[in-house]
Amino acid sequence: MLQMMPSDPVAAASSRQPWKRRLGLHWISYVCARLLLYLVLGLGAFLILIPFAWMISASLKTIDQVFAYPPVWIPNPVRWENYREALVGSLHPFIPRYVANTLYVAFFSLLGEILSCSLVGFGFARLRFPGRRWLFMVVLGTMAIPYYVVMIPQFIMFNSLGWRNSFKPLIVPRYFATSGFAIFLFRQFFMRISTELFDAARMDGCSTWGIFGRIVVPLSKPVFATLLILGFTFYWNDFLGPMLYLSRARLHTVSIGLAFFRGIQGVQWNHLMAASTAIMSPCILLFFFFQRLFIQGVVVTGVKG
């Protein structure tokens, strides 16, 4: 028998009300959840940006305004001269040399780390050889060893080679895939690339080096950008390594140069904040420049099309 439609339109409309009410409640709960999420994220971002805002504000103040109470957030007058005095003034004339030294170490260290670790990660991801899994576990185990454990043996070794007071201890080891984290990052990303691409390249007569250079590298821009940002930030802010091996003033890096702002007569906090703001700006600019690729390094599947 055919089901008869209700003859009363009011009764039919009332029968649909629970569905509409449920849909409205679902939409309201979704909007409230999103607003709560944005509120929490905004509050967290605000708390994180407070020290950064204070550093920028202090870099434009006089030394008296830095210690004023209640705190003065807007400098009056604004002293842009703090940056000139801190970076190229007579108080700290070697800061440009320190920046050049740090860029030199960061560039060649990153170049060696990306080249060596990408090849090792590709080998672990796509090449088949005996003991591959056990060897990869050994590489992961090196990530659990603190640098302070191997610091003294490395110093003795590099000192016996005559590499002290040179950039070699900071650069040369990077060309031998010494970063377990970078190897792990490359290996995990390369494993997400479809094996059909490798099979098609093999059928076309492409060698292993050709597969790596023509297929893997173009598809792996996000992971290269991720390692570029993380590695540059580490080498730019590294203090312990240059402090161990670089005792000559002309070889110092910016992390050591910032320590020189602590003079005998106290710390000029406005100059220190100005130098810190200027020195951290390359890391911030690098992140914003590669921001899209950095985010893709987390979510991309490795197959484009």
CB atoms within 10 A of CB 273: 23
Q: Return the closest-CA partner of residue 280 out of 249, 247, 255.
A: 255
**What fold, for 91-299?**
MetI-like fold (1.10.3720)
Mean pLDDT of the chain: 82
Q: What is the pLDDT of residue 183?
A: 92
Query: Among residues 196, 124, 194, which one has the least CA distance to residue 204?
Result: 196
Phi first, then psi, for residue 266 (nearest 5°) are 110, -175
> Residue 303's pLDDT band (boundaries 50, 70, 90)?
very low
CA separation for the pair 158, 253 (Å, rounded) = 19
Instruction: Of 114-123, 174-183, 229-238, 275-284, give the lowest mean pLDDT range.
Output: 275-284
pLDDT higher than threshold 90 for residue 55: no
pLDDT in tens, 241-252: 899 998 888 888
Question: pLDDT tens digits for 72-111?
Answer: 888 888 888 888 877 876 666 677 888 899 999 999 999 9
Is residue 208 over pLDDT 70? yes
* pLDDT over 70, % of the chain: 85
The predicted pLDDT at position 109 comes to 93
